[in-house]
Amino acid sequence: MRTRTFLAALSTFALVGILASCGGTKPASGPNLSAAQAKYPGYSLADYTAGQALYAANCGRCHPAYAPASHTEEQWAMWVPKMVPKANKKAGTVAIDEAGQEQIVRYLYAASH
């Protein structure tokens, strides 16, 4: 009797696993850049990736990196310039220059729209 219960439970778990794996996930697509391209003509996936890399490498050194949609465009435009000197100080070098700062601001805009 125990064997039958065990096999029934095992079959149930296997069925659940199979069904879960069949529920196909949507393949990851690239970011939707249309809003950023409308605001910043010529904005490209390379620009997005560069801004994302700068943000990921520098903006989580002292605190968790915030989700792009956690702040408005105006808030990011205020906070990023305030935080760049702190990030550079923490890095011990100029990790984010003026162009990099703009890349981060544009990435945050693109990623939140």
Which of 30, 35, 60, 57 has the alpha carbon at shortest distance from 46?
30
> What would the mean pLDDT of 50-60 be, rounded to a whole number?
95
Compute the distance between CA of residue 21 and CA of residue 50 in angstroms, rounded to an integer.
34
Delimit the domains of the chain by residue range: 34-111
CATH topology of domain 34-111: Cytochrome Bc1 Complex; Chain D, domain 2 (1.10.760)
Which of 47, 46, 55 has the alpha carbon at shortest distance from 95?
55
Query: Does the model's pTM come out above 0.75?
Result: no
Which of 27, 26, 47 has the alpha carbon at shortest distance from 36?
47
pLDDT above 60 (res 26): no
State the pLDDT confidence band at 1, using cuts at 50, 70 and 90.
low
